[in-house]
Amino acid sequence: MSSTTFLLQSGIVLLHLPDDHVIAKRMDVLVRGNYIVAIEDNIPQTEEDTTVIDCSDTIISPGFIDTHRHLWQTQLKGRHGDDLLSDYITRGYLAGSFYEASDVQLGELSGALESIDAGTTTIVDQMHVAYSTAYINAALEGLTASGIRVIFCPTPTRRVKQWQPDFFMEEEQVPAWFLDTLQDINKRQKLDDGRISLGFGFDSFELPQEEIEKIFLQVRQDNLHLITSHHFHGQISFDAVSSLSKYMLMGPDILLSHCNGMTSEEKSSILSTGAHISSTPSTELQMGLGEPICFTDEMGKVCSLGVDCHSATSSSLVAEARLALQSTRGQRNQTAIDTKSTLSIKDKTIDAFNLITIKGARAIGLRDKVGSIAVGKYADLIIWDRISPGMLAAAEHDPVAAIMHHSSSRDVKSVMVNGTFRKHNGILLPVDLTGKPHLEWKGVAREVLKSRRRIEERIKNKQSVLQEKR
């Protein structure tokens, strides 16, 4: 679609109020360039090149925000259905050693497109296959082609050097080239029309304090958008908060994933420094990280949601929010039953909706740009089919409930990112990949399946890419 001005006519528009409540109004939305420029009744068509879209049978909602994802893992989908975290580390995380840079490009591209298909318009991508500059650039190429908005967070990653006959990993944790590469990328004034921001992923807290402090100082001097790290105490523990607190590195640019089983000191450190949390209910509940905390009384205010590994679950943030909401309700109800207390619904549907919209925007420092529909914000929008078999009648009563309790990805009719349609009338639009212009989804899928076969052959032979090249 070549037009840069779109008039979305007569849709049920979901508008956030200052207190995070949402009202639904039948209105027009005018998009010009990258931005929403008007939300009114009966906006006139004043420009000849305006594309008018009839939205009378639709709901228009903010695009969803996924605050924790590993997009490179597409080719590993299907293998983690019965895995705990200890299984995933070997079969998922370390499987990156079987990827070439070209495999990373395809994983990132297809993972981003799968997300767009489900209504996600912004992702924090913690890319922990940052084995070389070539791998990082390949990931960027895939993300750029996808059209998604992303905070791209390459993470220093030790690779499996050899699987057999003896298993051992590369020794260097944060090689000198890594930070140089981030600086080079960051010097590009805007990464693809401003959709791509550079962040930093860091999980190497076993390093000496002086080295960690030096790394964080450089990252912050370079004005990277945010820093993201894993933190949880479950079947396996991973402690980022203790080091960040001890070294005085906590702050509002810190985004922590999971945060299950935290101590009171850890909670206090997060709340007092303005840091935020990304909760990922599906992987946390399955893999033994502990109960999700996104609806807890104390920490819910700083939480957002992520899919984490779409190799283990779907890319639908609605599914994640629904699971989090109903599992929390179940826990509260069981407590009330056990104590013979009065049952009540404390956690509301709108709270789940906000976790994947406005609260996600706050968690990633973009509250003034995305997360709600407002004049001056980026045009990141979902157009829902409100008369689909799943949404029929529900949207007439409560459009937010229709989305959160009755929708699936098939009900996502169109998705706009940065004022450009990336999915329209139920179809993902073609992408331009280097050497493969105007690549439709089936073409992407075929390339991913070829890549998967190559990766599976390396896995079968336990032959890391490093071994292969020796």
Tens of pLDDT, residue by residue over 269-325, are 999 999 999 999 999 999 999 999 999 999 999 999 999 999 999 999 999 999 999
Least confident of 35-49, 172-186, 189-203: 189-203
Tell me the mean pLDDT in the region 72-90. Answer: 96
Residue 88 has pLDDT above 70, yes or no: yes
* 216 vs 208: CA distance, rounded Å: 13
- Phi first, then psi: give them for residue 385, nearest 5 degrees: -80, 105
Instruction: Provide the strand spans (E) within 223-319.
Output: 227-233, 237-238, 254-258, 276-279, 303-305
**DSSP at 144:** H
**What is the residue-averaged pLDDT of the chain?**
95
Least confident of 53-57, 156-160, 333-337: 156-160
Model confidence band, residue 435 (pLDDT cutoffs 50, 70, 90) = confident
pLDDT at 167: 86
CATH homologous superfamily, domain 64-364: Metal-dependent hydrolases (3.20.20.140)
Burial class (CB in 10 A: 0-12, 13-18, 19+), 4: middle
Task: Report the chain's C-alpha Rg in angstroms.
Answer: 22
Residue 356 has pLDDT above 80, yes or no: yes
* 115 vs 142: CA distance, rounded Å: 13
pLDDT at 385: 98
Closest C-alpha to 72, from 145, 14, 126: 126
* 425 vs 387: CA distance, rounded Å: 14
Q: Which residues are CB-neighbours of 222 under 8 A, at least 6 positions away?
A: 182, 183, 186
Asked if 445 and 110 count as a contact pair (C-beta separation under 8 A), the reply is: yes
Residue 268 has pLDDT above 90, yes or no: yes
Residues paired with residue 71 on neighbouring β-strands, in sequence order: none
Tell me the mean pLDDT in the region 368-393. Answer: 98
Model confidence band, residue 192 (pLDDT cutoffs 50, 70, 90) = low
* 360 vs 380: CA distance, rounded Å: 13
Q: Which CATH class is domain 5-61+371-428?
A: mainly beta
Query: Residue 378 in 3-state DSSP?
Result: strand
Tens of pLDDT, residue by residue over 143-164, are 999 999 999 999 998 888 888 8
Helix and strand element counts for the chain (H, E): 15, 23
Find the angle CA(358)-CA(359)-CA(363) to the nearest 5 degrees. 120
Q: Can you spell out the DSSP letters for 10-39?
A: EEEEEEE-TTS-EEEEEEEEEEETTEEEEE
Distances in whole angstroms, Cα of residue 208 to Cα of each of 131, 212, 225: 21, 6, 24
pLDDT at 470: 38
Instruction: Provide the strand spans (E) within 46-179.
Output: 50-54, 58-62, 64-69, 120-130, 149-156, 160-162, 168-169
Tell me the mean pLDDT in the region 193-215. Answer: 95
Tell me the mean pLDDT in the region 121-128. Answer: 98
Q: Can you spell out the DSSP letters for 204-216?
A: -TTS-HHHHHHHH
Tell me the mean pLDDT in the region 250-263. Answer: 98
Find the angle CA(145)-CA(149)-CA(155) to the nearest 5 degrees. 85
